[in-house]
Amino acid sequence: RSRPPPLVTLLSSEPEVQYVSLRNIRLIVQKRPGILAADVKMFFCKYNDPVYVKLEKVDIMVMLVSEKNSEQVLLELKEYA
């Protein structure tokens, strides 16, 4: 499997860096929705993510949902409910 894009690797940084990375990822995904669809798991929320990071991750997950990953995304969103 190929390595994740450099911007995505920043998602393991501190929350402030994650947030900036997520905002940039959101812009990229708006232009090219399918670009990270196979990597939707990277945007699953962690229990210790700050709320502002969780909100960005959920928004990106929704943008990346496809027929292939819809069940996976729905199960994840169900965990948050």
Contact 26, 63 (CB under 8 A): yes
Triad 43, 57, 67: Cα angle to 5°: 60
Contact 22, 36 (CB under 8 A): no
pLDDT band at 4; cut points 50, 70, 90: low
State the pLDDT at residue 51.
96
Task: Give me the helices (H) in the chain, please.
Answer: 6-9, 15-31, 51-64, 70-80
pLDDT at 1 over 70: no
* Torsion, CA 51, CA 9, CA 5, CA 24, rounded to 10: 40
State the pLDDT at residue 9.
77
